[in-house]
Amino acid sequence: MKLVRYGEPGREKPGLIHGGALRDLGGLLPDLAGEHLSAASLDRVRAADPDSLPLVPGSPRIGPCVARPCNFIAVGLNYADHAAETGAAIPKEPILFNKAPNCIVGPHDDVMLPKASERSDWEVELAIVIGARTSYIGEKEAMDHVAGFCVCNDVSERSFQTERGGQWMKGKGCATFGPLGPWLVTPDEVGDVQALDMWLDVNGKRMQTGSTATMIFNVVQLVSYISHFMVLEPGDIITTGTPPGVGLGMKPATFLKAGDVMSLGIAGLGEQKQTVVAWQKT
């Protein structure tokens, strides 16, 4: 299934993409969040006749495909070719950091440069959406705890991240730095999640081309590993790292400016498009 949230920010409704059309899921689910992403809840949606669901008229805004996650966890340097372009060693264990849950926005919403930004960058990533409470699980159990997958743009302010001391989260959780969606795609529709092509363009120029096949730590390894350090709740997001082609790795390094347009996607998970805007008080 391809699940979606649509409507004005803060007032999104759940929907289903079926036959290229958007259908309303409000009669089956209040939202795509928390316990409503459990296997039992999604099975109720799967059992419904999609042609009986109300069609959504027009072209509403598409919001982030998951609402109000408790945790938004990111994995750093998880692609061997990306680690190489940054000059970093291959990590022996996953590098984890937090993105602020309230930085999540819709897949086509504007990305706002933070105040005093100098080196804001792009990162197309596969995101995992947790569907069951998860603690101390093995790799063989991991997929039983996954509701689905989606596209994430892990927007990053590199000077905050690397030059201001402490953890990377300083450059990762700025407002609008977590475009998510357009769809939450359930595992049965994704196929082999470790063989998905990925890409990102800036102003129509291809910057990133990669595949989830080059991940150092794969999906089941990450879910299991993270569950040994924290309890994952339904609706939590794990964004799993980026392939090469980020602005930081270019010679000379290239970063985002107001007016730039990022387009990105992952095979089977849909596409995003964001316009970069200057900082403004929110």
**Confidence class for position 282, pLDDT limits 50, 70, 90:** confident
pLDDT attached to residue 239 = 98
What single DSSP character describes residue 75? E
* Cα separation, 194 vs 213, whole angstroms: 5
Mean pLDDT of 150-177: 86
- The more confident residue out of 114 and 171 is 114
DSSP 132-195: S-B-S--GGGGGGGEEEEEEEE--EEHHHHHHSSS-GGGGT-STT-EEB-S-EE-HHHH--TTS
pTM score, whole prediction: 0.95
Tell me the pLDDT tens digit for each residue of 18-68: 999 999 999 999 999 999 999 999 999 999 999 999 999 999 999 999 999
pLDDT attached to residue 153 = 98
Percent over 70 (pLDDT), the chain: 98
pLDDT attached to residue 28 = 95
pLDDT attached to residue 268 = 97
Does the pLDDT value for residue 162 go beyond 80?
Answer: no
Average pLDDT taken over every residue of the chain = 94
Q: Can you state the percent helix, strand and coil of the chain, rounding each to 5?
A: 20, 30, 45
pLDDT attached to residue 90 = 83
* Cα separation, 87 vs 94, whole angstroms: 17
pLDDT attached to residue 163 = 66
Does the pLDDT value for residue 165 go beyond 70?
Answer: no
- Sheet strands (E) in the chain: 2-6, 13-18, 21-24, 72-76, 95-98, 104-105, 111-112, 120-121, 124-130, 146-153, 156-157, 178-179, 184-185, 197-202, 205-211, 237-239, 261-266, 270-277
Class of domain 72-277: alpha beta
Tell me the pLDDT tens digit for each residue of 85-124: 777 788 899 999 999 999 999 999 999 999 989 899 999 9
> Could you give the residue range(s) of every CATH 3.90.850.10 domain in the chain?
72-277
**Confidence class for position 198, pLDDT limits 50, 70, 90:** very high
Tell me the pLDDT tens digit for each residue of 42-55: 999 999 999 999 99
